[in-house]
Structure 1
Amino acid sequence: MSGRVVVIGVGNPLRGDDGIGPAVVEALRCRVPDDTVLAVSDGEPARLLELWRDAHTVIVVEALRTHPARPGELHTLTPAQAADRARAPASTHAFGLGDCMALAEALDRMPPELVVHAVEVADVGLGERLSDAVRSALPGLTDRVAASVRQAYEGNRAP
C-alpha cells in the first residue's frame, strides 16, 4: 500500500448545499501537501471506488440530510457509522456512501483508513448558492478535513 491520501468532495455544486463537498476540496488546495489527491465526485459508487483505488487513507466530504434537520451541524463518521446512517436515505445522492462501501467490501476494495466528514444541509434545490448555515460551517468543516489529512500523513510515517 502506497500511503496515498485521497480527499473526495462528494456533491453537485449546482444543487445548493450539495455543493459543500466540492467547496471543501477547493478550500483545501493550498492547505494540504502536494501529493494529496483532491477530487470531486457525484457519488456514483464505481467512480468513488476508482478514485480511492490503492489509497491508504480516504477522506470523504459529504452533505447529510437528517430529521429533524440541524443545518450547519458537523459530523465526523467512521465507516460503520456512515454505513449505519446510509440505511436511511441520508445522502443527497441517488446512491449513498453506504452503497459504495458495501460494494467496496464485496470487491475487497475498502481502503485501510476511511473517514467521512459531513455537514447537515438545508437546501439541495437547484442553484449554486450554499445556504447561510452551510456556508458558515465551511471553515470548520475544511479545518476538520485538513486535520484528518495531517493525521493521515503522520500515521503513514509511523513504523
Structure 2
Amino acid sequence: MVLLFSDKPCTSSPILVIGYGNPLRSDDGIGPQIAETLESWHLPQVQTIAVHQLTPELAALLVQFDGVIFVDASLHRNSQTIPQISIEPIQFASFPDSPPSSLIGHLSDPRSLLTLTQALYHQVPQAWWMMVPGVNFEVGDQLSGIGKQNVDIALHQLTHFIQTVRTEEA
C-alpha cells in the first residue's frame, strides 16, 4: 500500500468516501461495495456515498468536506500476480475562470471532478484515490474471489488511512 500526503492539512470536518463503479459489471462494483460496507460501520466523522459514475453534481458535495477519498476498481489481467491496493494524493489541473466544456457531463475520473469543483467553487478538498485491483469486469452482480478478498483488505487499509489522516490533523 502506498500512503502519500499532500502539504495541505485536513481539518477535523468529516471525510467523504466516494465509492464508484458499476455493480452490474462484477469487480467494477468494488468501489460501491466498499462505500456501502464502510457506511454500515457508522464511523464517526466519515460520510460515504456509492455511485455508478462521477457526475458534475458531486462538485457541490465535495466543497462541504476538507478531505475526500475516491475508491475505484482497477483492472488487472494477470491473476497470478495481483498488484497491491494503492492510496495516492490526487493532482488535478486548475482553470482560472470557467471549466472546459469537456468537464460537463459524465466525468471519467476524480481529477476531472476536482478540476470542475475548483472552477465552479474556487476551492477543493484534499483528495486521495484508492485503487483496488479486480480481475473480472464482465456482466454480473457478484465480485470475483479476488475482488472479495481485495474489498476486505481495502476496508482495513482505508480505515487505517482515515485514522492516520485524523492523527495528522491533531
Q: TM-score category by the smaller chain?
A: 0.7 to 0.9
Pairing partner for 2:86 from 41, 62, 75: 75
Q: Verify the 8 A CA contact 2:28 2:137 in the aligned structure 1.
A: yes
Pairing partner for 1:14 from 24, 42, 46: 24
Q: Which residue of 2 aligns with 1:30?
A: 41
Secondary structure at the residue paired with 1:151?
Answer: helix
Q: Which residue of 2 aligns with 1:146?
A: 159
Q: Verify the 8 A CA contact 2:23 2:29 in the aligned structure 1.
A: yes
Q: Which residue of 2 aligns with 1:54?
A: 64
**TM-score (norm. length: structure 1):** 0.75
Report the residue type matching 1:109 in the other structure: Q
Alpha-carbon separation, structure 2, partners of 1:99 and 1:16: 25
Gaps of 5+ in 2: 1-10, 94-105
* Greater helix share, structure number: 1
Q: Deviations over 1:88-118 (max 9, x none)?
A: xxxxx8622232233233332320x211111
Q: Which residue of 2 aligns with 1:87?
A: none
Length, aligned pairs only? 145
The percent of aligned pairs where both chains have the same amino acid is: 24
**TM-score (norm. length: structure 2):** 0.71
Query: Which structure has the larger Rg?
Result: 2
Gaps of 5+ in 1: 84-92
Moved more, 119-128 or 42-51: 42-51
RMSD after superposition:
2.8
Report the residue type matching 2:66 in the other structure: H
Q: Verify the 8 A CA contact 2:36 2:49 in the aligned structure 1.
A: no
Alpha-carbon separation, structure 2, partners of 1:120 and 1:67: 10
